[in-house]
């Protein structure tokens, strides 16, 4: 079986990139599939995470991102020309490679259009890694801006049209699957998670860790509010943040420096499991989270989790009171109190950490990837 995953690039140290690369590696290494990672604006940037030698990476070398250096008129002219080149290169790639399956995510319209225009017999799959309803109705950046909300609704209407031409959409949770089911056949498959394979944390370090992009979605302002309450009771503990630089990175740096309460803001690292093992508690303050792979990652290192019970990921991962705490209604004080409880009660921390390791195993690749194998084979048989 020949499978092609299509992306603009795989250069970011971020969760989606890690998931897809791990998945492609597994499909090639364990199932023996002929797997391609097809990009078009990777350029000379290295692939963010280690890719198996059995996965073939092909870059079509159409750097659309460079258009932002030109004025609007020239940008429109060059964009049209480059997109035509991209479509031609993509069609030539498909003609020469003869894939059985093409896979994309739903929010890159050029990729969606290329795939549905492809004139060859092939299974077309969408993987949704962002809850559909939050992209318009609940994203705080868009919700507060009337013009952006109208534009986003129009963009979503176009995406719905593209997605309706695919064979199936695979979602991370039932709510997202139901939202997309009006337009396409859907199925829920949880993310496989690259779990810790080394010794776990002894939970003795006075370190709390947060991992996630520096964006409004991740609730970093609320994290700092929580930490001010925690620091007032435990000034010997430290908060470490790791994440891809995004729109809130400068804010996080400034606020950490202003507060001066043992807050350490760091950029992404490909040694994140080492950072988990150096910590004792994991925190997640997202406003919404379709899955939240950082939770089972941290749990596999033995860390209990404190998270806001946001839609929809945390409640699917954490068993409240057993391997972590789910905080209702974005209650800052309650979050701080439960975090302090884990800081103060070492026995509870160790007990929850042990259960967290067991809970994380349901997301192991050997448990998740056979579901993908069954899906691929069933769709191929329907061709």
pLDDT in tens, 76-121: 889 899 999 999 999 999 999 999 999 999 989 999 999 999 999 9
Residue-level pLDDT at 151:
84
Considering the entire predicted model, what is its pTM?
A: 0.89
* Percent of the chain at pLDDT exceeding 90: 82
pLDDT exceeds 60 at position 138 = no
- Predicted confidence (pLDDT) per residue in 143-173, tens digit: 667 777 788 888 899 999 999 999 999 999 9
Residue-level pLDDT at 228:
98
B/e letters for 195-204, b = 16+ CB within 10 Å, e = fewer, are: bbeeebbebe
Residue-level pLDDT at 345:
98
d(CA 105, CA 118): 16
Structure tokens at 361: 């195993």
d(CA 172, CA 312): 9
d(CA 87, CA 143): 34
d(CA 278, CA 204): 9
Q: What rounded mean pLDDT belongs to the chain?
A: 94
Structure tokens at 352: 């929850």
């Amino acid at each position: 079986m020949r499978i092609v995953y299509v992306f603009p690039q795989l250069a970011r140290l971020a969760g989606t990139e890690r998931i897809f690369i791990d998945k492609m590696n597994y499909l090639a290494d364990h199932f023996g599939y002929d797997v391609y990672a097809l990009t078009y604006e990777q350029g000379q940037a290295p692939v963010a995470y280690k890719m198996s030698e059995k996965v073939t990476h092909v870059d079509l070398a159409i750097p659309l991102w460079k258009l932002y250096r030109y004025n609007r008129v020239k940008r429109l002219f060059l964009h049209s020309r480059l997109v035509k080149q991209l479509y031609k290169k993509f069609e030539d790639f498909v003609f020469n490679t003869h894939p059985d399956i093409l896979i994309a995510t739903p929010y890159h319209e050029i990729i969606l259009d290329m795939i549905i225009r492809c004139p060859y017999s092939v299974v077309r799959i969408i993987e949704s890694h962002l809850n559909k309803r939050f992209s318009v109705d609940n994203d705080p950046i868009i919700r507060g801006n009337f013009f952006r909300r109208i534009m986003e609704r129009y963009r979503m209407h176009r995406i719905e049209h593209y997605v309706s031409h695919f064979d199936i959409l695979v979602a991370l949770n039932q709510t997202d699957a139901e939202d997309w089911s009006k337009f396409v056949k859907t199925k829920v498959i949880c993310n496989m998670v690259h779990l810790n394979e080394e010794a776990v944390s002894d939970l003795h370090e006075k370190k709390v860790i947060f991992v996630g992009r520096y964006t409004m979605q991740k609730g970093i302002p609320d994290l700092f509010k929580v930490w001010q309450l925690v620091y007032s009771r435990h000034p010997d503990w430290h908060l470490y943040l790791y994440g891809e630089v995004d729109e809130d990175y400068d804010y996080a740096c400034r606020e950490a420096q202003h507060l001066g309460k043992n807050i350490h803001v760091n950029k992404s690292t490909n040694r994140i499991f080492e950072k988990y093992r150096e910590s004792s508690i994991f925190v997640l303050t997202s406003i919404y989270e379709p899955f939240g792979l950082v939770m089972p990652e941290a749990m596999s290192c033995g860390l209990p989790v404190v998270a806001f019970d946001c839609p929809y990921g945390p409640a699917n991962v954490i068993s409240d009171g057993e391997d972590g705490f789910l905080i209702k209604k974005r209650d800052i004080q309650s979050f701080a109190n439960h975090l302090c409880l884990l800081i103060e009660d070492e026995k509870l921390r160790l007990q929850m950490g042990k259960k967290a390791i067991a809970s994380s195993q349901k997301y192991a690749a050997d448990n998740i990837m056979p579901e993908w194998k069954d899906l691929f084979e069933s769709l191929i048989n329907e061709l």
